Structures are given as C-alpha cells and as structure tokens.
Chain A
Amino acid sequence: MSCLGERLTALVDGELGHEERDRALAHLAGCAQCRNEVASLRLIKGRLRGLSDTPAVDAADDLPSDDFLTRLRSLPASAGPPPGGVPPGPPPGPPAGTPGRHPRRPLRSSTRAARTPSAVRPRDNRPAGHAGALQIQPRRRYLVVGAATLFIGLGTASYAAGGRQEAPDVTPAFDRFAVEHALTAGDAPMTDPLTDPLNRVTVSPGP
C-alpha cells in the first residue's frame, strides 16, 4: 500500500489541486514505492484508454461508460465482431507514462475496475442467455407485427367474403308444414284451412 493512499489515484487522474499535486510530486521524488505504484497505475490507464480509442473516435461522448463498453467488447463472436476489431492480445496504446496527456474524459472508473481481474473479461464468459435476450426483442416484434397483419388480413378477407350472397327466395310450404305438425301433435294430418280454403271450417265467436 502506498503512503499517499487515495491521493495517489487522484494524482494519476489529474484531480489534485495545485498545492496538493506539488506535495505529492515532492513525496514521489523521495519514495520509490510510490513512484512504482504511480508508474503501474499509469500503465494500466494507458492500456485501458487504448482499448477505448477506436470507438471513441466517432462517438466518444455518446458512450455510456467504459465499464459497459468493456462488457460489450467481450461479447462472444456470435453477437458479431466489434466494430473496431480489437485483437485479443495486449492492446495497442500509448506507452506507459504518457496517460493524461490527452485525457478526453477522466478514466477514474476504469482504474477502479482494475482492482478486479475481471475488468477485461474473456470473450466467452458471458452467459449465452444475454445474447438470446438481445435477439428476442426484434423476433418478438416481427411476431407481433406478423400476427397483427394476419389478423387484419383474415378479418378483411372474411368481411369481403361475407357479403350477403343472393340467397334464394323462400316461400314456406305451409301445406306440408301443417301436415307434418299435425302428425307430431297427434291430430288428423289434414291441411290447415290457411292452405286449403276449400276445407270446411266453422268459425264462431269465442267464449
């Protein structure tokens, strides 16, 4: 552990005030251990910045965070190669000792990530489900759009096909119906006077 503690990190990140920086530099001049630590921190920072150099060219300000970027870069090959095609070997970058000269943005968070060995993850340690989840969204959208199109299409086709066709005009066969009904009801299977005016029927005022 260095003598300067957190201030050492702040020095590397260029966040110390003028006086504090002078004091820290004065300490570094006399403390070899702290010098070594600063050197290693700057080396890490430089490497990380080298990682983010390629996408940062066009959309540096749009990147959500370097941490997220790192995770995206470590996606498996099935998700498609990263736009920049970073080789798996040691990343190119400015040599150690030169970080902070063109700090586009503070890389403090990346130095924190350096505390864990998983900051630069191997490409295949990501659960495959995440890639599937990323791909499901467009699939589901296609499914929904397809189903809606099918539904609307079938509905329209049904409406078009359901136009009332010229059904035949029907005149009920009252005579046959009367006989058929009488057979059911247990009466004489004779025509109803409605259909046979010759049938003698007495009509009288009711009770």
Chain B
Amino acid sequence: MTARTLIGRGRRRSVLACGLAGALALAAALAGDPAQVRRVRSDPGAVALLRAAAYAAGRVPYQGRRFLTTASRNRSTTSRVTVVHIPGDGIRYRSGTAGKGYRPESAAGDTTGFTSATLSLLTSNYSVVRAADSSVCGRHARVVEARRADGSAAGRFWIDSETGLMLHRELIDATGHRVVVTGFSEISFTAPPAEPVTLGGARGGLARFPGTASGEPVDGAGGSGGTARWGDELDRADLEGLRDRGWPVPRDLPGRLTLHDARREPGGGAVHLSYSDGLAAVSVFVQRGTLDEHALDGWQKTVKHGRTVFRRESLRRWAVSEGEGYVFTVLTDAPQSTAVSVAAHLPRDADPFWSRVARGARRLASTANPFD
C-alpha cells in the first residue's frame, strides 16, 4: 500500500515536471521573437473590421463622391464619380460625361474589394493588424494595415468608426510609394431620395459601345435592370472542363496571385479570371482567336521573356498578349510591371512542333469522340 502510494506520487511528480518544462519552452518560444509571431499571425480584431466593412457597405445609406487614383513613378491618374447608395436599391454612380453606372444591391458589399475568398488570401499572404486611429473626410476612422513579411505596409484601410463603412484604402509598393488610392472624398450618411427612373438618357458611357447591352451594370435605367457581374460563374468542374478543352486557366500567377473567381461572358465569349494576392486585383480575360493588332494602335509594343506584349497605361494598367490560339487581356490597378509580367507568363506557343501535334491530337480525339 505504501509502496503503491509512493509510485503514484513519483508519476505525478514526473508529469508535473514535464508539463512545467513544456510550458517554459512555450513561453521561451513566444518571448524569443515576437516579431516573427506577428508576421505569421493576423489580428482577429483587424480582420473582423474588414469583414464588417463589407457587411456595412450593403447596409449603410450614403451619398458622396468617390475617387480612384493610380500612380506610377512619373504620373498619376484620377477618376472621380458621384455615388449614391440606397439600401435595397443598389449603388448608382454618375460621372461627368461618362454617364452612369450601377451596382446592384447584391454586390454592394464588394465595394470594399473584399470577398471571403480574397480576405483569406489577404490573411495568408499578409499580416493584418490594427494601426493608430486617424481621420478621413472629417470622420474618425479605425485604421487596418496589411503588412509584408519584412514588416512594411502593403495596404492600409480606413474604416469609419461609427458606421463601419470603409472610407479609404490604399496599396503601397515595396519602395513605400502609394500606387492605388481609392475611397470617398466627400460623404454624408443622409438617405437620398430615390432617383426617378429615366430611360436612355446618358450620352457617352457604355451605351455607345455595341454589344454591351447584355447584363450591363452601367447605364442601368431602373434598379432592377442591371445585373452585377457576368452571371455565368464557373465552378471547379467548369474550369476543369475548360482546361480539358485546351483553355489556359492557370491556378497561380507570378507575385503570389491566386485564382479566386472565374466567370464567362454571357453567350460563351470571353472568360474572366480574377486573381488576387489579397490586396491587388488582377483580371485576365481569355478569348479564343488571334490578336488583331490593328486594334492596338497607340499601344506600346514590348518584348518580355522573348514574347510580344502590348501595354498601355491609363487609369488602369493593361497588357495584351496571345498564345496557343488564345488572346489574353490583363487588367489591373497594380503597377504596370505586374500587368506585363502576368501577360508574359501566360501560356504561349513554346514548341511549334509539339503544340501543333498536341492540337492535332485534340482535334482528332474530339472528332472520334461520339460524346463530344
């Protein structure tokens, strides 16, 4: 009896000692390099603020003016629009001569630039933390920062402390320059009167472009007229099907850009692939065919990695390339170098002989396949 008690005590002591040693080791690891821990961890409160901002964007009525500025080393371009949001009625935009734009209520939350997919990309690529509060548009704002592994800020967000609405956001490059700044220059939270329905009043804008009538979000006379994005969202199986048919649909692009959304133009036209690293949005539009270079007058023709890329810098950055019978149009707010490197990285005719044989085999297989 006594011996058993002694053995029991010994065991308890050893378990206690092991637990103590483990706790000490954990404490030492945590205290050893706090910066490292911060790098891999995001502040849940900061992430929750961003998530709440997307929710507030669909719930809070407001009117004001928005701007989008993209800046490079030697120039910056700004676009300004007037914006009105009536919950349940969507967001209406108006810009000088460019006409009107409309974003339906279902997509109102996307005005923060965050969906659940891009938010998870943000937290996996950057450390999201709170920074010191500030003020924007005369309103007190909570500031959230997305930091790179070296601790430098890559993105900054100002969130209205009262309503939770995102007032301002900016993207910062590795040298510390702001490359994209967007948000409100003026805002008021009084609910505006519902806009009377007008038919076909806009001069300019997309109304002048043929083929934009289907599913157009712009010029939506009447709230129910517009649909948000290209409706034909492609799921994983659709993408696999496209890949099997030879469509180039890369999952990742250089710069930690990950495919998070894919849609197809109504009528089976271009495929819109949305890539993001959590901050920068890069759109790749893939069309079957060969590029009509006559349409690219005024574009700069550059050769990157032995490949011809047409580029143009406007409010956004464009790059166009072609390969394997497809035309790629890359569009992003991020610096031009991103657009060009993405366009140069997309699939091309690497080996004419083998690609020709592969193409021929595909055609033969599709001819012989009775189910195709």
Interchain Cβ contacts within 8 Å, total number: 213
B209's closest neighbor in chain A, by CB? A175
Per CB-CB distance, the 10 closest pairs between chain A and chain B, nearest first, are A162-B360, A186-B113, A158-B360, A170-B289, A161-B360, A194-B314, A169-B292, A171-B295, A162-B356, A185-B281
Contact A159-B114, Cβ < 8 Å, known A172-B285, A173-B270, A175-B209: no
CB distance from B306 to the nearest CB of A (A): 20
Known pairs A180-B230, A190-B93, A206-B76; list 15 more (Cβ under 8 Å): A157-B360, A168-B290, A170-B288, A170-B291, A174-B318, A176-B265, A178-B316, A180-B285, A181-B331, A183-B103, A186-B110, A189-B93, A190-B95, A200-B80, A201-B79
B358 with A162: CB separation less than 8 A: yes
Q: Which B192-224 residues sit within 8 Å CB-CB of chain A? A: 204-206, 209, 211-212, 216-218
CB distance from B69 to the nearest CB of A (A): 9
B272: which A residues are within 8 A, CB to CB?
177, 180-181, 184
B218 with A192: CB separation less than 8 A: no
Once bound together, how far apart are the Cα atoms of A155 and B357, in whole Å?
A: 7
CB distance from B349 to the nearest CB of A (A): 9
Q: Which A40-87 residues sit within 8 Å CB-CB of chain B? A: none
Can you spell out 20 A-B residue pairs with CB atoms less than 8 angstroms apart? A158-B364, A164-B359, A167-B290, A170-B288, A172-B295, A172-B327, A173-B270, A177-B283, A179-B101, A180-B283, A181-B283, A183-B107, A187-B111, A190-B95, A196-B204, A201-B78, A205-B76, A206-B74, A206-B76, A207-B76
B218 with A179: CB separation less than 8 A: yes
Which of B182, B204, B228, B356 makes the CB contact (< 8 A) with A183?
B228
- Does A116 sit at the interface, judged by CB under 8 A? no
A206 with B111: CB separation less than 8 A: no
CB distance from A168 to the nearest CB of B (A): 4
Once bound together, how far apart are the Cα atoms of A198 and B98, in whole Å?
A: 6
- Does B329 sit at the interface, judged by CB under 8 A? yes
B329 with A177: CB separation less than 8 A: yes
Which of A158, A161, A183, A194 makes the CB contact (< 8 A) with B312?
A194
Interface size in chain B (residues, C-beta < 8 A): 82
A172 with B360: CB separation less than 8 A: no
Interface size in chain A (residues, C-beta < 8 A): 49
Once bound together, how far apart are the Cα atoms of A207 and B358, in whole Å?
A: 50
- Does B12 sit at the interface, judged by CB under 8 A? no
Which of B77, B212, B281 makes the CB contact (< 8 A) with A175?
B212
Once bound together, how far apart are the Cα atoms of A81 and B364, in whole Å?
A: 49
CB distance from A164 to the nearest CB of B (A): 7
A179 with B217: CB separation less than 8 A: yes
Once bound together, how far apart are the Cα atoms of A159 and B352, in whole Å?
A: 10
A177 with B331: CB separation less than 8 A: yes
A201 with B290: CB separation less than 8 A: no
